[in-house]
Amino acid sequence: MREKLRERLWAVASLIGYPAFYVLCLVVFASWTFPFEKVRDRVVAAFNESQRASNSSRELAIASMTSSWITGVRLTGVRLIDHDPGAGATGGEPGKGDAKSELKLDSVVARVALLPLLVGNHNVSFHAEAFGGSVVGSWKDHGKDQALEVSLESIDLAQFTPLTGLLEVPMEGSLGGTIKWSLPEGKVSKANGSITIEATDVTLGDGKAKLMGKLAVPRLSLGTFELNAEVKDGTVKVTKLGSSGKDVDFLADARIPLRDTLSESQVDMNLRFRVSDSYRGKNDATKGLFGAPGSTAPGAIDLDPRMKQAKRPDGFYTWHGHGPIAKLDFSPGGTGGPIAGPGGNGAGGPGRPKTGP
């Protein structure tokens, strides 16, 4: 009896084992011999061609692409370069102008889960080493619905070129947080989720570089910077955005109705900041820029008509930001009373008291 059972099991194992071993060998050797470099060249060429077609000055470069185990791919030396206008904006070849900013990723690994593919779902996990820290997350596509989760850890703000390039001044600090979004029917305009970001020991400026090309700001301590936002039915509501450091107090709120083309989403934002007396009296440069504590003589910053209009009696400068994300415009928020809430002239926005601090 045992001998017959053993023969049957061996026969079944032979029928299943040999095909399974063949499939395994096929997958393994296919991953080893797959022409990843040609795929890399095609991806880069397609991206750069699309940028030229849209009059963009961005250029993608990838040093190498290889397999990562069986179901993954590894990219190293990923660079997204934004050239000065004229290199790509005029329809010429990208890369011929001076680089204005550059986004660098040391390595990126993306992997597809096999089992969900059997029922038509796509689960992709990814891990990137970038900006001195790591970015870990996943992307899920189940039918019409999609979901994104990203975790940021130990990001060095000094290396975070998208932000330093925007502000045009050096930054220091360590950033971490999570982003969780679900997209019903794959539409950003119906998104739900949350954003939680915290940056510690944040400093800004060096006394030489000009903030957004306007003012040379001596080294400024922002302390701990926090961002909390909830996303519901396609609208981002920023419930906390600000910091309270030894040199400056900063507070903002915002409401962003999302559009499926994210860059076209309209921002309605209010922010305010106040420089501390200790920082204003730090040295001749800060006294000249912001005015000496107790002095009635205005600082250089208040000689700008827009800054003068933005200043309140309590020392806070208030601004209202509005327009599409890709082209946000700021205007002075008034000189007295609380800042207007998003989209109007009412008192107080989300998370803001209705009286001065």
Summarised one tens digit per residue, pLDDT across range 27-62 is 666 666 678 888 899 999 999 998 888 787 889 999
User: pTM (2 decimals)?
Assistant: 0.74
Q: Verify that 190 and 208 share a domain, yes or no.
A: yes
C-alpha 355/C-alpha 222 separation (Å) is: 23
pLDDT at 93: 47
Q: Is residue 28 part of a domain?
A: no
CA distance 326 to 293: 38
What are the tens digits of pLDDT across the range 220-269?
Answer: 898 999 999 999 999 999 989 998 778 999 999 999 999 998 888 999 99
Give domain status of residue 10, yes or no: no
- Mean pLDDT: which of 67-76, 128-137, 209-218, 243-252 is highest? 128-137
Evaluate whether residue 223 is within a structural domain. yes
| CA atoms lying within 13 Å on the CB side of residue 27 | 12
217 in any annotated domain: yes
Query: What DSSP character marks residue 164?
Result: H
Q: Clarify whether residues 324 and 337 are in a common domain.
A: yes
pLDDT at 21: 64
**Most trustworthy range by pLDDT among 165-169, 179-183, 276-280, 342-346:** 179-183
191 pLDDT more than 90: yes
Same-domain pairing of 121 and 147: yes
Give CA–CA dist 207/203, Å, rounded.
12
How far does the chain reach from its first CA to its final CA, in angstroms?
A: 88
Specify whether 120 is located in the same domain as 239: yes
Domain end call among 221, 246, 271: 246
Report pLDDT for 313.
Answer: 87
Beta-sheet pairing, 122-130 with 235-244: unpaired
Same domain, 278 and 315: yes
Share of the chain above pLDDT 70, in %: 79
pLDDT score, position 255? 94
Which pLDDT score is estimated for 55?
82
Q: Could you tell me which of 79, 43, 51 has the C-alpha nearest to residue 63? A: 79
Which pLDDT does position 156 carry in this prediction? Answer: 94
pLDDT the model gives residue 344: 38
Range(s) of the domain holding residue 275? 250-351
> Residue 89: what pLDDT?
38
How many domains in the chain? Answer: 3
Percent of the chain, pLDDT > 90? 40
Helix then strand count (H, E) for the chain reads 6, 16
